[in-house]
Amino acid sequence: MYALLETIDSPEQLRKLERKQLPELARQLRAFLIESVAQTGGHLSSNLGVVELTIALHYVYDTPDDRLVWDVGHQTYPHKILTGRREAMNTLRKPSGIAGFPRRSESEYDTFGTGHSSTSISAALGMAVAAQQQGLERRAVAIIGDGAMTAGMAFEALNNAGAMDANLLVILNDNDMSISPNVGALNNYLARLLSGKLYDRMWRSGEKVLRTMPPVLEFAKRAEEHVKGMMTPGTLFEEFGFNYIGPIDGHDLDTLVATLHNIRQLQGPQFLHVVTQKGHGYQPAEDNPGKYHGVGKFDPSNGDSVGASSKKTYTQVFGEWLVDMADQDQRLVGITPAMCDGSGLNDFAEKYPERFFDVGIAEQHALTFAAGMACDGLKPVVAIYSTFLQRAYDQLIHDIALQNLPVVFAIDRAGLVGADGPTHAGSFDLSYLRCIPNMVVMTPSDENECRQMLYTAYQHNGPSAVRYPRGSGAGVAITEEMTALPLGRGLIRREGKKVAILAFGSMVSPALQAAESLDATVADMRFVKPLDLDLIRDLAGKHELIVTIEENVIGGGAGAAVMEALQDMDMTVETLCLGLPDTFIEHGVHETMLANCGLNSEGIIASIEKKLT
């Protein structure tokens, strides 16, 4: 079934194939990809869309000497398969297996580690300049999607690159038909023509002659722009200083190989516009590319999920709360930076489309946009992953907190995120949020508490955050009625002796399990900021050991806040802070990852008993 694919363990072997063999290789690679991801889960639609482009890039460019930088990196499974990791695909996103994103430590072909969007052009430009500085003919290629191109960082890099003479190729993988739908024979022909040496030599020679006649040179440049602008949508990229080529069919291997071969001979910044289809070649993914963007295990014969949990996720709890809250208050608006489905906004977007704003991959803009709305009477709710909020930290401080604006942050994927690994782990938000003045920070311990905290945040007249983990909770019943919690007040969940465990959010459940063995007191602290100082004082006065536990790095986190509070109150008591260690934690199974960090009930018991001895 995979006879040709199994002969390819490196791009060097790929480049020995005849060009006429490449379509069959693409067919086998696509079939292998579907079968593999069905067994492991992972990203599917985006990878199916770049099969031909990946083959063409490794066929034309001298990788790994030539540098390929994949934006975001969730479309690099074909790249991994062709660069010696085919046999390891059954370990994808598993403990000690290969990562779901490019990693420099994993392969010399992974030239830049990515997981967040819109970094590829900056990184590839840096590599192109490094080659230039060292006098090398090495080429650098950035492959970026039309979604990632919405981020300001991408345009900053384009602006910088266009002013340089580095040998950089930016490939726009337009998989949403959002820029130009007119892909066909004429466009493919034009792309080959405009990327060819003859056109390049003619233009450079003409420019040389016309330099002696500046008005004529300017007229010629404008004429070229107008002619190309009538046939292509590249005027914007030409203005940045790139030679624009395309759009071309990203599933036409002959055109891809010919065009890339021509471009590799050109000097200076080049821009190739390629149109692909997400999920190409697999009907379920073609019909619903969003559903198959990130998948669990599924039946490849029909695309049906296998072993999906029936429990309600925190994301679903948020989505339902948002609709219910919007029913009550017409001032509510929902904002997300390109994560409508992932953040649970689909129902809200369908019911209240005029109050839903997907701003694209533009986290900084999302926050300042929300700030502007809050200034003029609206009630913005920003749905964002913990790891993506990091990208808008200045806007959080300067535009929202400093002005004490009532913006609610629904922070998904807090804590460890299992198979997605360190690029997507929300390990730092408690640390970077609690140090900001005016912020209220809440950590729900179950689904119902999450709903009530979201309502509490919405009623608060200032910036507030509710951070909750990926996946489902304990499965507790959710109260439809919404009640605001007393600000900065925790709750005793179990009375015990000697040891008091102050647990935050997702750690309440394992803390309660551990407490049964230890006969310890457990407090669901609920608020990281403001802290329940009265509760901390009371517990410290009655117990020999105060233990804090959080699914966040220990440094600067909730436990550190408790230690600071004890110091301010001049209270002397034995303390123990448990949380994520000072390292980036590799991908794996969430429960196992917590256990490895000592954050399951057994680990908590072991740490406390060790402290008591």
User: Residue 388 half-sphere exposure, CB side, CA atoms within 13 Å?
Assistant: 29
Helix (H/G/I), strand (E/B), else coil: 445: coil
Q: Which of 141, 112, 127, 123 is nearest to 50 (CA)?
A: 141
Q: What's the pLDDT at 310?
A: 73
Calpha distance 399→397 (Å, rounded):
6
What is the β-pairing status of strands 332-336 and 379-385? parallel
User: In which element (H, E) is residue 380 found?
Assistant: strand 379-385
What is the per-residue pLDDT for 71? Answer: 94
- Integer angstrom CA distances of residue 368 from 332, 376, 406, 436: 16, 13, 12, 16
Helix, strand, coil percent content, the chain, rounded in steps of 5: 45, 15, 40
Per the listing, tokens 């602008």 go with: 229
Which residue from 45, 7, 44 is spatially nearest to 24, judged by alpha carbons? Answer: 7
CA 173 vs CA 170, 180, 272, 280, 584: distances in Å: 9, 12, 9, 13, 30
Q: What's the CA gap between 195 and 260, in Å, rounded?
A: 8
CA 165 to chain centre: 31
pLDDT at 207: 55
Residue 148: phi and psi, rounded to 5, are -65, -25
pLDDT at 293: 87
- Residue segments in the chain with a per-residue pLDDT below the cut of 50: 177-183, 186-187, 189-190, 203, 217, 227, 229-231
**Res 606: pLDDT:** 97
Cβ-in-10-Å burial (0-12, 13-18, 19+) of 582 comes to exposed
Catalytically annotated residues: 278, 363, 391
For residue 294, the model assigns a pLDDT of: 85
The predicted structure's pLDDT at residue 220: 52
What's the pLDDT score for residue 467? 97
Q: Is 302 exposed, middle or buried (0-12, 13-18, 19+ CB in 10 A)?
A: exposed
Could you tell me the CA-to-CA distances from 381 to 93, 223, 249, 295, 412 in Å, in that order? 32, 48, 39, 27, 13
